[in-house]
Amino acid sequence: MTPKASAARGATPGADRSGDSYLPEHGNGGYRVVHYDLDLDYRVVSNRLAGRADITAVAVQPLSRFTLDLGRLRVQDVRVNGRPAKYAHRPDKLQIKPERPIGAGESFRVDIRYAGKPVPISGRWGDLGWEELTDGALVASQPNGSPSWFPCDDQPGAKATFRVAVTVPSPYTVLVTGDPVSRRRGAGSTTWVYERPEPTSPYLMSVQIGRYELVDLAAGGVVQRAAIPPALRREVAHDFGRHGEIMMALQRLFGPYPFREYVVVVADDELDDPVEAQGMAVFGRNHVDGRRTHERLVVHELAHQWFGNSLTVADWRHIWLNEGFATYAEWLWSGVGGALPTDALAAQWYAWVADRPRDVIVADPGVDRMFDPLVYKRGALTVHAVRKRVGDESFFALLRTWVAEHRHATVTTEQFRSHAQRFAREPLDGLFAAWLDSPALPPLPR
């Protein structure tokens, strides 16, 4: 261990843990990040990343030491407010001791230079974060993969703004979850710069690198683009051919789209599942077949821009607020788009849930069951139950005000219960207790 590293041992107890009930080892205490400025240079063939992270934060308590989440990349230099800082880095945490303590309420900047071969974070959900593709790279970080490519406060409620610059060999296209700012071509390489002005959770930041062709998904209204392998042009044109209609339908249901544009990336590799990021969704080539087989997933990922991205769970315990609402959006679109009506889909999925063990509590499924299909389907049935209880007019007013009042903020199950009660003529406590707090399955909402 280097002298620099040994001097930073003994950080304040609790400073390297968050308040998240499911993933307390991810995230940190004592400060709040306001902005990340990331400059990245990526060599595709060798999978080598060189990065500089300039982080602006505010201390919420006096800090003599603090930590950031960072995976298996080599730290080269750390400075706090322009002055060299002592640090220690183990595979999951970067411990930092500034030259002088930071006072409560004080704004400070952390400048970190790092490099190495980025690898995903391995865990109970597989490999998450920065991942090599056959010819490029993909970032899918939910829930804890962000430290695979940049130092961060990795907890869902720790929203900040971002600027991300990525330099790659010129044949490659770079898509980042943000608004495109500039593109500068150099000698054999190009630097792509994006800004994310809306408060964004680190897990929702993504970088996509590949030999992509950029196409428009819809004309007028919200900018909707796709980055696709040229060989899939025809299939994408058909499978995403109703994307403009889907966008308009979800805006009528939920309110204005919360970002400036929406980007779909179709990787030239197969992926297990599509993944949402802030203003972006990523699909594998296996999700495109020219027959709209996976259109419900197109709807699901777009709905996450409202439920999960603009409104982000304050704690992973509340994951049903992301997945239940996005699943219910699939059912709503089905009726609008000419397929089965919402009630029919609710009945089908109720029967599916009824055939499964009663072993998940939707409001608190536990860390091992966060992404269990029962959380998705029973969460959607909870939303349907609320709709049936309050009636359509009140229900859709409930949805639109829920989205508007918590735009770009964090939400909890308790907040949703209170919000829904405002639109009901009778108490909803029993409904929520039955659907969210007990593993027993209530009757089908009618």
Average pLDDT rounded to a whole number, residues 16-25: 90
Could you tell me if 400 and 324 lie in one domain?
yes
Q: Indicate whether 12 belongs to any domain.
A: no
Could you tell me if 123 and 188 lie in one domain?
yes
Could you tell me if 257 and 357 lie in one domain?
no
Could you tell me if 267 and 318 lie in one domain?
no
Residues 382-399 have pLDDT tens digits of: 999 999 999 999 999 999
Task: Tell me the residue type at 63.
Answer: L
- The domain boundary residue, chosen from 210, 226, 253: 210
> What's the domain count of the chain?
3
Residues 391-439 have pLDDT tens digits of: 999 999 999 999 999 999 999 999 999 999 999 999 999 999 999 999 9
Q: Which residues of 313-322 are buried (b: 16+ CB within 10 A; e: fewer)?
A: bbbbbbbbbb
**Cα(58)–Cα(61) distance, integer angstroms:** 9
- The domain boundary residue, chosen from 157, 179, 210: 210
Q: Indicate whether 145 belongs to any domain.
A: yes
CATH code assigned at 346: 1.10.390.10
Q: Indicate whether 396 belongs to any domain.
A: yes
Could you tell me if 372 and 319 lie in one domain?
yes
pLDDT at 18 (0 to 100): 86
CATH code assigned at 300: 3.30.2010.30
CATH code assigned at 196: 2.60.40.1730
**Cα(77)–Cα(75) distance, integer angstroms:** 6
Residues 155-170 have pLDDT tens digits of: 999 999 999 999 999 9
Q: Indicate whether 388 belongs to any domain.
A: yes
Average pLDDT rounded to a whole number, residues 270-291: 97
Average pLDDT rounded to a whole number, residues 339-362: 97
Q: Indicate whether 299 belongs to any domain.
A: yes
Could you tell me if 279 and 320 lie in one domain?
no
Could you tell me if 45 and 151 lie in one domain?
yes
Could you tell me if 297 and 341 lie in one domain?
no
Q: Indicate whether 131 belongs to any domain.
A: yes
- The domain boundary residue, chosen from 282, 305, 328: 305
Could you tell me if 217 and 190 lie in one domain?
no
- The phi, psi pair for 159, rounded to 5°, reads -80, 145
Bridge partners (DSSP) of residue 208 are 138, 175
pLDDT at 83 (0 to 100): 98
Could you tell me if 281 and 327 lie in one domain?
no
pLDDT at 260 (0 to 100): 96
Could you tell me if 170 and 266 lie in one domain?
no
Could you tell me if 115 and 88 lie in one domain?
yes
- Give the model's confidence band at 10: pLDDT under 50 very low, under 70 low, under 90 confident, else very high: very low
Q: With 50 as the cut, is the pLDDT of residue 11 above it?
A: no
| H or E stretch at 348 | helix 342-354
- Give the model's confidence band at 16: pLDDT under 50 very low, under 70 low, under 90 confident, else very high: confident
Q: Indicate whether 28 belongs to any domain.
A: no
pLDDT at 19 (0 to 100): 85
Task: Give the domain range for residue 326.
Answer: 313-436
**Cα(315)–Cα(438) distance, integer angstroms:** 20
Q: Indicate whether 19 belongs to any domain.
A: no
